[in-house]
A = this chain, B = another copy of it.
């Protein structure tokens, strides 16, 4: 079975985000003065083959911890769903 894992990696709230501040200032200079804050993150859609949802979940968690996320400054969350079958005509 194939599972699609939507991973979001964000900076911890205590970590400064200069990229987000730049985007916020760009919004202000374009007239969007109601924007109070912008924090940037990373988004990945990873397709994994696994025997069960639990296995896919374990794999995704391991990949996040070991590869995708810097635990000193970042946190992550993900969402797993089974991939819909694609018909081959």
Using a CB–CB distance below 8 Å, which chain A residues touch chain B?
Answer: 2, 6, 8-10, 20, 23, 26-27, 30, 32, 34-50, 59, 63, 67
Contact = CB atoms under 8 A, between A and B. Distances in A.
Count of this chain's copies in the oligomeric assembly: 2
Contacts of A47: 35-38
A30 B66 CA distance: 10
A41 B30 contact: no
26 contacts: A2-B36, A10-B45, A20-B44, A27-B63, A27-B67, A30-B67, A32-B63, A32-B67, A34-B50, A34-B59, A35-B63, A36-B49, A37-B45, A38-B44, A38-B45, A38-B46, A38-B47, A39-B44, A39-B45, A40-B43, A40-B44, A41-B43, A41-B44, A41-B45, A42-B42, A43-B43
A47 B32 CA distance: 12
